[in-house]
Structure formats: structure tokens, C-alpha cells
Structure 1
Amino acid sequence: MHQTPLADLAQRLLRKSPHALDPEERRVLSSIDAGTIVSRDAADEADAHASIGDQLADRVAAVGGSWGFIIAFTVVLLGWMLLNTDVLAHVGMAFDPYPYIFLNLMLSTLAAIQAPVIMMSQNRQASKDRLAASLDYETNLRAELDILRLHQKLDGLVLDRLAAIEAKIDGLAKTMPSA
């Protein structure tokens, strides 16, 4: 019975049957068989599969979690309060006087929308982290298997060299006169 190259590699390097291989192990062994590289950038992989909603969630989280947003939002809130307390209140045109009920409604709405969007971005980041860990495992496994294969080749060369030396010694011993 003739084994496929993948089955041979699985048995020889991992001591597993091809059916017992994880997807990562299968990809690594396939790349060894094909002579290709296995390392990939997790960020590129995740971005390639990101939907428009994922990209939007990342942008909202990046803006909403920045000092620029906090400072700008603070300025807007203080401006709103100043405008409705002092400026427009003196002319009787304050559209949201103290206790700023409309402002509270807008802040609650913003928080209700922003929180799930930031959670989506965090979930996506966790997914990126899992992908990065998986890709790191593949790269590490490939490096470990390549080192193992090099050791096997070196061991084979050393054994061949020792066998040649033994053959020379045996040949010399046979040609030497016995005392």
C-alpha cells in the first residue's frame, strides 16, 4: 500500500494519521510537501474577510475611544450648556434649559448606539487575536518540523559517514597482515 506524501509526512513528523490532523497541521504539512511558506499576516487575513459593518465598527471604536473625541465631546457639551443657560436664556430662546432634558436624551441615545458598536469592534479584535494565535501556531509548527527534518537529514548524513568510515576500517583491517 502506497501512502500519499501528506500521510507519509503526518506519520513521520507528527506520528499521526492524516485523519487525526488539525486543520492547522494539515496546512503546515501541505506547505512542507509543496515547498511553500505558511506564515501569513493576521491583520491582512482579518481585513480581507471584514464586512463593511466590521470596518465601520472599527472606525467608530477608534474615534470613540480617542482623546480627540473626549475633548471635542466635552467642548460640545460645555458649549451646549453655556448656550442654553446663559446666552439663549437671556433672550428667552433657550431650547433646552436646565436640567437639559434634550441633552440627556441625546447622550442616552449616543451611549445606546455607541456601546454595541464598540462591543462589535472588541469581538472582532478578539477574533483577530484568535486568528493571530492560530497563524502563530502554524508558523511555529512549521519551524519545529523543519528543524526536526534537518536533524533527521544530519543524523542520516552522520550515520552514512560513520558507515563509510567503518567500511574503510574493516577494509584496512582485512588487508593488514596478522601478527
Structure 2
Amino acid sequence: MRPSKRDLILDAALRVVARDGVTAVTYESVAEEAGLTKGGLVYHFPSRETLLTALQEHLADQWEANLTNAAGKPVDQLTDRERDVAYARVAATSADHAELLLILEASTTPELAAPWTRLMNIWTPPTPTKAPLTDDEATRIIARLAADGLWLYDTITGIPMSSEVRAELGERIANLVNPNHSGA
């Protein structure tokens, strides 16, 4: 099946972000990257803001597809622990530069953050509002923080981690919340 023009545009915009940053996302830069006219871009995204919002939704949808794939079934059929395990496994992949820049951009704008907020509310444990935490709450939050740290590691430090080490660490994080863990 041929990718839609909309997806081609979003993938082109991601390449622009990866190469030149979020501020470089203009109709001109994305149209050139996608091999389209500016008018073709405006047809799908009537403003730069709609393009940036669509980029956030596109990335969040990719994350959700990866999470569902890792879990093996839809989120509404999963236990909390199964969601936590899927999250740890997906976070074992490294953040790419564009993804990180867009997520940072979303953190300052509620409209851009909405797809991520929705995704996190479905797939990750709620942040406790008061102490003391139960052992289960603490374990789930620690696993989430460890998974997020693993996801960020290469991009933040500039020190690549092998995919084998990354996968093993992801499994060890998953084992923190998996009641049937092997103790890796």
C-alpha cells in the first residue's frame, strides 16, 4: 500500500526536525523535503501549528502502535503490569533526535502535549499524589523512570549503547513489574 501524502509530509517534517530543529519546520522546508509544492502542503495542513500538532499525534500514534505490538493485544485488554512491561520494552529503544526535540517542544504547549498526555495516561502508572507509597506504586514508578532514562540515554549522553545491552536492560526493567519475572 502506498503511503498517504499526509504521512509523506509528516515523515519529511520529521527529517527537517532531525536535521535542523523544530524552528526550521516551515512550509518551504517541509515542501522541499517532501518533494511537494507549498500549496500541496497547505492543502493537508492549513497552518504551521496544525502541522506541528499532527507531528506530535503522528509520533504518539507510532509509540502507541509499538506499545500495542510489544504487549501483543490492545491496551483495554491489558493489566496494569502488562502495560508496564510493554512500556519498558518499547522504551528500550533509543530516542531519536527529532522525537526528543518534538517531545520537549510539546512540554511547553498544552495543545502539542495532548497526544502524549493521552498516551501516558493510558499506558503508564499514575503519578502518586502523596506519600507514603505502597510497594507496588513505588516499583511501578521506579520502573517507569528507569525505562524513560534508558530511552533518553544515547541521545542525552551521546554515548551509544549496543542494542543487545539496551534490550537486556529493558527486560530487566520489565522484570521489576512482571509478577512472573525470571530474576534475569
Give the TM-score normalised by structure 1.
Answer: 0.23
